[in-house]
Chains A and B, each alone.
Chain A
Amino acid sequence: MKTDLWKVFSKMLILLIVLFYLFPIFAIALASFTFQWNEYGLPIKLGFSGYKMFWEMGEFRRSLWTSLRIAPLSVAMTIIVVVPATYAVYISRSRLLKSIADVIITIPLCLPALVLAIGLLQSYGSKPFVLTGTIWVVILGHVVLSSPFMYRSVLANLQVIDTKTLVEAAKSLRAGSLKTLVSVVFPNIIPGIVSGSLLSFTTSFGEFQLARMVSGFMNQTFPVKIWEASRRYIRVQFAMSFIAILVSLIFFIIIIISLTRSQLKEEKIVA
Chain B
Amino acid sequence: MKSHLPRKEILFIIPLTIFFTIIVFIPFIRIIAGSLLVSETKTLGLQNYVKLITTGAIVRSIKNSFLLSLWSTLIAGTIGFFFAYAISKRRERWRNLLVTINTLPLTISAVVTAYGFLVVFGDSGLVNGFLMYFLNSHISRFFNLLSIGGLIFVYQFFQIPLMTIIVASATSSMDPHIEEAARSVGANKIQIMFKIVIPHLLPAIIAGLSLLFINAFGAYATAFALVEANMNLVTLKIVSQFSDIGYDPGLANALSLLVVGVATGFVVLYRVSLNRIERPAK
Binding site for B on A (CB under 8 A): 2-3, 6, 10-11, 13-14, 17-18, 20-25, 27-28, 30-31, 37-42, 80-82, 84-85, 87-89, 91-94, 97, 100-101, 104, 106-107, 109-116, 118-124, 140-141, 143-144, 147, 164, 167-168, 171-172, 177, 180-181, 202, 205-209, 212-213, 223, 226-227, 230, 237-238, 241, 244-245, 248-249, 251-252, 255-256, 265-268, 270-271
Among B19-27, B45-53, B55-63, B144-152, the one that faces the other chain is B19-27
Which residue of B13, B28, B161 has the most chain A CB atoms within 10 A of its CB atom? Answer: B13
Do residues A208 and B109 form an inter-chain contact, with CB atoms below 8 A? yes
A119 & B10 in contact (Cβ 8 Å cutoff): no
**Do A168 and B188 touch (CB < 8 A)?**
no
B30 touches A122 (CB 8 A): yes
Contact (Cβ within 8 A) B189 A20: no
Contacts A28-B115, A100-B17, A123-B27 supplied; 18 other A-B pairs, CB < 8 Å = A2-B189, A18-B98, A24-B112, A24-B120, A41-B128, A84-B12, A87-B12, A88-B12, A88-B13, A101-B16, A107-B24, A112-B218, A115-B260, A118-B242, A208-B224, A251-B107, A265-B169, A271-B169
Q: How far is the CB of B78 from chain A (nearest CB, A)?
A: 11
Asked if B105 and A21 make an inter-chain contact with CB atoms under 8 angstroms apart, the answer reads yes
- Check A13 against B82 for contact (C-beta < 8 Å): yes
CA distance A56 to B223 in the complex (A): 30
**CB-defined A-B contacts under 8 Å, sample of 5:** A24-B108, A100-B17, A112-B219, A119-B27, A164-B5
Chain B residues contacting A249 (CB-CB under 8 Å) are 107
Q: Is B199 in the interface zone, CB < 8 Å from A?
A: no
Cβ contacts under 8 Å, B103 to chain A:
252, 255, 266, 270
Known contacts A42-B129, A106-B267; is A140 also within 8 Å of B23 by CB?
Answer: yes
Asked if A168 meets B235 with Cβ closer than 8 Å, knowing A109-B270, A244-B109, A271-B166, the reply is no
Residue ID in chain A nearest B234 by CB atoms = A114
Determine the main DSSP class of B at the interface with A: helix
State A238–B125 Cα separation when bound (angstroms). Answer: 13
With A10-B89, A17-B83 given, is the CB distance from A104 to B17 under 8 Å? yes
Q: Is the CB of A144 within 8 A of B24?
A: yes
Contact of B130 among A42, A84, A116, A181 (CB under 8 A): A42
Judged by a CB distance under 8 angstroms, whether B259 is at the interface is yes
What is the CA–CA distance of A144 and B219 in the complex, to the nearest angstrom? 16
Q: How far is the CB of B190 from chain A (nearest CB, A)?
A: 8
Q: Can you list, as one digit per residue, whether each of B242-282 has a CB less than 8 Å from chain A (1) or not (0)?
A: 10000001001100100110011001001100100000000
Tell whether, in the assembled complex, residue B132 and residue A40 are in contact, meaning their CB atoms are under 8 Å apart. Answer: yes
**B contact residues around A97 at 8 Å (CB):** 10, 13
Q: Which residues of A contact B133 (CB under 8 A)?
A: 40, 42
User: Contacts A42-B129, A112-B218 known; A206 to B82 CB distance under 8 Å?
Assistant: no
Chain B nearest Cβ from A236, distance in angstroms: 12
B157 adjacent to chain A (CB < 8 Å): yes
A143 CB contacts on chain B under 8 angstroms: 19, 23
Given A21-B104, A101-B16: A180 touches B6 (CB 8 Å cut-off): yes
Shortest C-beta distance, A75 to chain B (Å), equals 15
A268 contacts which of B31, B169, B256 (Cβ < 8 Å)?
B169
Return chain A residues, CB-CB under 8 Å to B102: 21
- Any A CB within 8 A of the CB of B177: no
Q: Residues of A contacting B274 with CB < 8 Å?
A: 271
Closest to B106 in A: A270
B71-85 with Cβ < 8 A to chain A: 79, 82-83, 85
Q: Which 5 A/B pairs are nearest by Cβ-Cβ distance?
A: A24-B116, A119-B27, A112-B218, A206-B109, A171-B4
Question: In the complex the two chains form, is A106's CB within 8 Å of B271's CB?
Answer: yes
Which B154-179 residues have C-beta < 8 A from chain A? 156-157, 160-161, 165-166, 168-169
The smallest C-beta distance from A122 to any residue of chain B, in angstroms, reads: 5
B107 to A115, Cβ gap below 8 A?
A: no
Tell whether B9 is near chain A: CB-to-CB under 8 Å.
yes
